[in-house]
Amino acid sequence: MPTTPATAAHSSSNGTADAIMLELVDESGTTIGTAEKLAAHQAPGQLHRAFSVFLFDEQGRLLLQRRALGKYHSPGVWSNTCCGHPYPGEAPFAAAARRTYEELGVSPSLLAAAGTVRYNHPDPVSGLVEQEFNHLFVGMVQEQLRPDEEEVGETAFVTAGELAERHAAAPFSAWFMTVLDSARPAIRELTGPSAGW
């Protein structure tokens, strides 16, 4: 992926990563400061900027990922295609494209903004809290997936009906239904009425 001023600021000259910083925001999404990633997720949580990506194949099926078991937050659960946090000063759209490539090895097609949603979701297993102002994006995936096994345990393309069955039978991230429901209007516009989203 290309280096941007925001991403260049987050790796040192010897290739080791600095502490990951998040952008703190107020209720309207205006930046008010920064915090270290883990600290921002400690209860009760600090409101910070995030993004969620929903990618679909040509048949209108949603790409899900099961988070790798080594993740410190919500390991082993199913979630949307990709989610994460922009670096301070990084545009959410750029962060969404960057992180999708880092996690899944693909560059989204027709990636478009799908609104924002603010939520507060505690994770019952880890005790961490997602206080997020989340920028939503929808798009297509038209390349072969090349998941990073340290980030992604498994992937699956599902129809709306298959998602309902899977969601009833397997653990999903605490934020999944909130972000999916908020993105549904843009998802329907992208996939068309026959896809059932």
Positions marked active-site? 83, 132
Q: Sign (positive/negative) of CA torsion 76, 41, 187, 53? A: negative
Yes or no: say if 180 and 54 are a contact pair by the CB < 8 Å rule: yes
Cross-strand bridge partners of residue 120: 131
Instruction: For 190, list phi and psi in degrees, rounded to 5.
Output: -75, -45
- What contacts 41, CB < 8 A, 6 or more positions away? 73, 128, 129, 130
How far apart CA 146 and CA 61 sit, in angstroms, is 18
Tokens 């997020």 label which residue?
132
Reduced to 3 states (helix: H, G, I; strand: E, B; else coil), residue 89 is: coil
Q: How far is CA 25 from the centre of its chain?
A: 18
